Chains A and B, each alone.
Chain A
Amino acid sequence: MSLDRRTTIKWMFAAAAATPSLGAFAYTPEPFARDLAPGQPGYGTDPDLMKEWRAGGPWPLTLGVSARLTTIALCDLIIPADDVSPAASSVGVVEFIDEWISAPYPQQRADRETVLAGLVWIDEESQKRFGKRFAALAEAQKNTLADDICSPAKAAPAFATAAKFFAKFRDLTAGGFYTTPIGMKDIGYTGNVQLEKFDGPPLEALKKAGLA
């Protein structure tokens, strides 16, 4: 999906009924995101399931440097390091999001529009409020911004579109993170190991659910 930044911003703010200053983006190196190659094929209806698939997917990644920096910052705002596991960007989630929005399938193309427009918006909003791009904000500043858009139900009407973007971006970040070995361990998945027998739940699990 070709994405002209000016069109994107128009689209974003048509919903939010506000007009941004385009000058705020002067720092953005081009391209923000490369166009998808016309006719880019998917992996087809009979992909080789036994081969090792390249991290980042079978199609070219398209995020530009600036968009990538914003993506890193946003991923790590949603899933930062804590005492259980590291931040999302350290386990390949940025590359995954790039893979997702660079894929030639309808769902991913629709998400591409949402994500690219949202990345543009969040940098512009950061400039407006704090005079810096999003990636350069202090944690408290990022949180102030995130608090306005993290809840689709509670977001003010002016932030409704941005909140939809944030929800989509959070789902992609979480999907990318919790499917990695580190993310699976964090969330408490202990399966995908070959067992001699299946014992069912331990007693303490049954007790917790009031079943023993």
Chain B
Amino acid sequence: MPANMSFISSNEADQNTYDVIVVGSGAAGGQTAYTLAMEGARVLMLEAGRNYQPATGTPMMQTASDAPLRGASTPDKPFGFWDATVDGGWQVPGEPYTSASEDPARQFKWWRARMLGGRTNHWGRISLRNGQYDFRPRSRDGLGIDWPMDYKDLAPYYDKVEMLIGVYGGDDDLENTPRSSSGVLLPPPKPRVSDLLVKQRAARLGVPVIPMHRAVMTKRLDHQRLPQLLHPGNPKAQAILAADMQKRAACFWATPCGRGCSIRANYQSTTVHLPPALDTGNLDIVTDAMVRAVTKRKDGGAEGVVYVDRKTGAEHRVKARIVVLAASALESVRILLNSGVANSSGKVGKYIMDTVGAGIGGQIPLLENMPLHNEDGADFGHLYTPWWLYKEQLAGKLGFARGYHFEFGGGRRMPEMGTAAGLEWLNGGTYGRKFKQDARRYYGSFVSFSGRGEMIPNDDSYAELDPMVKDRFGIPVLRFHWKWSEHETRQAAHMQKTAADIIEAMGGKTSSAPQSGATAIKQGGVIIHEVGGAIMGSDPQRSVTDSYGQCWDMKNLFITDGATLCSNADKNPTLTIMALAWRASDRMLSLMKRKEL
């Protein structure tokens, strides 16, 4: 971390004055603080979890046998021992959430992390742009909610974010799957054998396969060209960014990205947004600061926030010209509801969406007994399948209204508990020298397909404050209501059927039969793409913010995380959240400059 880093105590923060308080340090908080601090605003960032330093805290080359239980998933570390998540997972000790229904199909699961950088430290790094249809879903098919903006409004910010964080991808330009501007993306990694076989055989079914976009640096960022494009007319910011870009290494083609990256080859807020922002001297960070509520000035504006120091339990109040909620969509909803502000529309907590998830795997004889070669690559996601049936869908031929993409994987990956487990469905169940031969034969011959699809917002999926339950700080917690519609369950069935068809076209067999949509679909929240809950709009009576995340009811309160999204396209939301946060931050800077805030 930079020498003039500014991690400060709660008591120090109380003494200082700031232009902007940013609640949260993940994709949204990181991007917001970065843009504001680089452009000269004085920022205080509050993070509910502990400080976290990827350079010294990332297990890069450890193998499964270096971990307890060979790294297997446990309730303490649900994504495995080496996963970067700190003090989090489906449950955070002492910080519950509740469900209104006892029916698992109506429950919502909420993944949280309590660490600097939040979930960006472990995320999949998949960085897909929304396309033009994705901003106008209701205009196109009569369902859901239109955004108060278009693709062209966000496209320049997608370019900026991609240039800053480093995203690999191809230059395909398919329907509703836009290409980045020239010179923005890094080259995609070479496909694995299994990727190429998927591509060859999917093509026979009319299913496209193209390079994935992921925030992993396949080469170093161009520190001479990019800083000027990102911070025109701001030589100080350019110099800081150019220096920082030179400290980021390119991927060395080993170790899973979910552990985080000590060489800073992929994007996480702690390795990309925060170091240069701290280098400006304009950013202070208080960790272990659990924000309870936005406080109000006498004139109705936001005064600041009140938060609990997790270590001492003491309550602190800080003030600023602007307050930004970037605590993750649902944590921001919780803060809004606990503050009793910005909700004259009654829409706070409404229209919560996750991504539809369903998948299927199989075994491919053509991939057995491959010659030895290293397939670690960029971890996963070298290629993917974007949604391809837009015309059939709009013509009403599919029975569900929105699309999905396939993330697929295979290859000779680092062995873990499951690597040679459960082979009975292939070999009947062996032991001894035969089992060892089987393990070698089948290793690397499996493929899996994960469908990731768009959910349409509905009136039955929302969050409210639980009237009884409070967390260990005495703060009321969220209670979730959830319901998939047939648009989602039919889509899930289509995912499994199509993936099974591709596996068959590869000459393989699926490890299980495709199920009904209601069975195949993952529980709400499980894909960890939750957005909505404080949607943007053009009508203050039907939305919480404008297209800049500026709250209609409280002009100096902004929301820059996924809470404002009006739809949740199949494209994973993190890149869009960052692009919106940069755009919102530009708006804040201009309003402050004009003394309107």
Contacts and interface: CB of A to CB of B under 8 A. Distances in A.
A170 B59 contact: no
Given A43-B68, A46-B87, A192-B255, A184 B429 contact: no
B593 interface: no
A32 interface: no
Given A82-B433, A209-B367, A211-B200, A195 B190 contact: no
B425 to A, nearest CB: 9
Given A49-B59, A171-B421, A191 B254 contact: yes
A44 B86 CA distance: 10
B171 interface: no
Q: Main secondary structure on chain A at its contact with chain B?
A: loop
B203 interface: no
Contacts of B412: 188-191
A189 B432 contact: no
B74 interface: yes
Interface stretch (A15-23, A63-71, A128-136, A200-208): A200-208
Contacts of B200: 211
Given A43-B68, A181-B65, A209-B196, A201 B428 contact: no
A78 B432 contact: yes
Contacts of A167: 422, 424, 429
A210 B366 contact: yes
A166 B421 CA distance: 12
B57 A50 contact: yes
Per DSSP, are chain B's interface residues mostly helix, strand or loop, or mixed? loop
Interface stretch (B76-84, B147-155, B457-465, B555-563): B76-84
Interface in A173-209: 174-181, 183-184, 186-202, 204-206, 208-209
Given A49-B57, A211-B193, A99 B69 contact: yes
Given A49-B82, A50-B59, A153-B429, A175 B436 contact: no
Contacts of B89: 45
A45 B417 contact: no
Of A42, A171, A187, A197, most B-chain CB atoms within 10 Å: A187
Contacts of B367: 209
A176 B70 contact: yes
Interface stretch (B157-165, B368-376, B574-582): B368-376
Contacts of B443: 187-189
A205 B76 contact: no
B527 interface: no
B265 to A, nearest CB: 11
B597 interface: no
A151 B428 contact: yes
A184 B62 CA distance: 13
Contacts of B375: 191, 201
A198 B75 contact: no
Interface in B41-91: 50, 56-59, 61-72, 74-77, 81-82, 86-89
A180 to B, nearest CB: 5
B193 A105 contact: no
Given A42-B75, A178-B419, A208-B371, A58 B68 contact: yes
A195 B374 CA distance: 10
Contact of A57 (B68, B76, B417, B433): B68
B349 interface: no
A191 B435 contact: no
A50 B71 CA distance: 14
A205 B371 contact: yes
Given A167-B424, A190-B374, A179 B59 contact: no
B206 interface: no
B256 to A, nearest CB: 10
Contact of B74 (A42, A46, A84, A171): A42
Contacts of A194: 252-254
A3 interface: no
Interface string A12-30: 0000000000000000000
A98 to B, nearest CB: 12
Given A179-B64, A209-B197, A191 B371 contact: no
B69 A146 contact: no
Contacts of A117: none
B549 to A, nearest CB: 31
Interface string B414-432: 1111111110100011111
A47 B71 CA distance: 12
B475 interface: no
Interface string B8-40: 000000000000000000000000000000000
Contact of A46 (B59, B86, B374): B86
B56 A50 contact: yes
Contacts of A79: 435-436
B429 A152 contact: yes
B235 interface: no
Nearest to B56: A50
B156 interface: no
Nearest to B443: A187
Contact of B69 (A85, A100, A174, A177): A100
B69 A187 contact: no
B93 interface: yes
Given A151-B428, A167-B424, A180-B65, A199 B190 contact: yes
A6 interface: no
Closest 9 CB pairs of A and B: A200-B190, A151-B429, A191-B376, A175-B417, A179-B64, A171-B421, A174-B420, A194-B252, A195-B253
Given A43-B74, A99-B69, A190-B373, 19 more contacts: A43-B76, A45-B87, A49-B59, A49-B81, A52-B66, A80-B436, A146-B432, A167-B422, A167-B429, A178-B419, A179-B70, A179-B417, A184-B414, A187-B443, A189-B413, A192-B61, A192-B254, A194-B254, A201-B375
21 contacts: A43-B68, A43-B74, A43-B76, A46-B86, A78-B431, A80-B436, A103-B68, A167-B422, A174-B435, A175-B421, A178-B439, A179-B65, A188-B372, A191-B376, A192-B255, A193-B254, A194-B253, A198-B189, A198-B251, A201-B375, A205-B373
Interface of A: 42-47, 49-50, 52-53, 57-58, 77-80, 82, 84-85, 92, 96, 99-100, 103, 105-108, 143, 146, 150-154, 163, 166-167, 170-171, 174-181, 183-184, 186-202, 204-206, 208-211
